Amino acid sequence: MGRTGLAADTGLIIYPEWSVHTFFMRFPIDVLFLDKQDRVMGLRAAMPPNRPYAGAWGARYVIELPAGVLAATGTQSGDQLILTPSPHRA
């Protein structure tokens, strides 16, 4: 919130959480909902600003990404992610 966008190579992990909103945002985002095993339980491509809700029951955490990442990567429900820590911290 309050930003003008997300850099192309960044994302935001919200843990623990199973839903998000885009109130007060100025740009669309791609959203992933993941379970404890890092499996995609749901997703929302290009969620527009000022939307009240998107979520997936049973999700353990959410990843917000720049709009277009899901389409570019072909990410789908059921995909297994492998998360590794970044050597750089913002």
Q: What is the pLDDT of residues 59-89, one digit of tens each?
A: 999 999 999 999 999 999 999 999 888 777 6
Residue whose tokens read 């850099």:
7
Which stretches of the chain are DSSP H helices?
A: 69-73
State the pTM of this model. Answer: 0.89
Q: Which two tokens stand for residue 73?
A: 């990567």
What does pLDDT average to over the chain? 91
39 pLDDT higher than 60: yes
